Chain A
Amino acid sequence: SQQGEEDPQALSIQEGENATMNCSYKTSINNLQWYRQNSGRGLVHLILIRSNEREKHSGRLRVTLDTSKKSSSLLITASRAADTASYFCATYSGGYQKVTFGIGTKLQVIP
C-alpha cells in the first residue's frame, strides 16, 4: 500500500449523513493533515493533528490518529452538498516536513 493511502477511494452519501474516510501510512510522522480539493480549485487545509494527539475537532470535522496502527480517520458530520470534493490526507515527516499525499477519497454528497 502507499504512504497516505485513503479508503474508500469514492464515497456517495445523502445530505445530512455522516461521511468517514480513512487513511493509512507507513513511516513515522511529525503530524498528519487533511486537505480538501473542490473541482478545479487548489488544496485547502482542513485540520492538523500532531503525532502525540489522538483526536481533534474542528466544526463538523473530527480527526482521529492511531500511531500504533499508522492510521487516521476523518469524520464529517451532518454532510452538506457543499462538502462534495476530494479529500486527501498528508503526512509530514523529517526535519523539513516532507509531505506525502495519498490518492484521495472522492466524496459526493447528494442533496
Chain B
Amino acid sequence: EAGVTQFPSHSVIEKGQTVTLRCDPISGHDNLYWYRRVMGKEIKFLLHFVKESKQDESGMPNNRFLAERTGGTYSTLKVQPAELEDSGVYFCASSQVASGKNIQYFGAGTRLSVL
C-alpha cells in the first residue's frame, strides 16, 4: 500500500512567486493534515481536512496560504505570493480515526526555499 506522497520534494522560488504543493494521502484516509517546520523550530500544525471540508485551519499563517482538497482525495497548498519567511519543510499527514487512536502517517515533506 502506498504511503503519503508529496510533490515536489524540493522547490526553490523567488520572493513574490507562487508555489503549489501537493499531497496524496493514503487511500481511504478521511483525515488530511498540513504541517510546517521552519528551520530550528518545532513542527507546527497548519490545517486539518476531514474529507473535503476544512475541520480546523487555525494554524494557517495568513491569507497568502490557500489549501484545498477537492473531492476529498489529494490536497494542494498554495502560497501566493511567497515571502522569505515561508521557507521551511511542509509536511502532509493522513489518518483514519479508529478505536481512540489517531496515528498520523506522514509524507517525506516538501522543502520550500524562498530566495
Interface-side segment among B62-70, B78-86, B104-112:
B104-112
Question: Are A45 and B48 touching (Cβ within 8 A)?
Answer: no
Q: Is B91 an interface residue (CB 8 A)?
A: yes
Question: What class of interface size applies to chain B in its complex with A?
Answer: 20 to 34
Contact indicator per residue, chain A 61-79, by CB within 8 Å of chain B (1) or not (0): 0000000000000000000
**Nearest-CB residue, chain A, relative to B43:** A101
Q: Report the bound CA distance from A97 to B33 in whole Å.
A: 11
Cα distance A2–B44 in the bound complex, in angstroms:
12
Are B105 and A103 touching (Cβ within 8 A)?
Answer: no
Task: Name A5's closest neighbour in chain B (CB-CB).
Answer: B42
Q: Give the A-B pair count, Cβ closer than 8 A.
A: 58
Complex interface bits, A31-42 against B, C-beta within 8 A gives 1, otherwise 0: 101010000111
The B-contacting residues of A in range 4-18, CB under 8 angstroms, are 4
Contact B107 A42 (CB under 8 A): yes
Residues of the B chain whose Cβ atoms lie less than 8 Å from the Cβ of A40: 108
**Given A2-B42, A88-B43, A103-B41, A97 contacting B108 (CB threshold 8 A):** no
Chain B residues whose CB sits within 8 angstroms of the CB of A101 once the complex forms: 35, 42-44
- Residues of A within 8 Å of B31, CB to CB, are 96
Partner of A42, one of B42, B44, B91, B101: B91
Instruction: Check if A41 sits within 8 Å of B104, measured CB to CB.
Output: no
Query: Does B102 touch A at the CB level, under 8 Å?
Result: yes
Contact status of A99 and B103, CB under 8 A, knowing A40-B108, A42-B4, A43-B91: no
5 contacts between A and B (CB under 8 A): A33-B103, A96-B55, A98-B45, A98-B48, A101-B43
Chain A residues with CB under 8 Å of chain B are 2, 4, 30-31, 33, 35, 40-45, 48, 50, 88, 92, 96-104
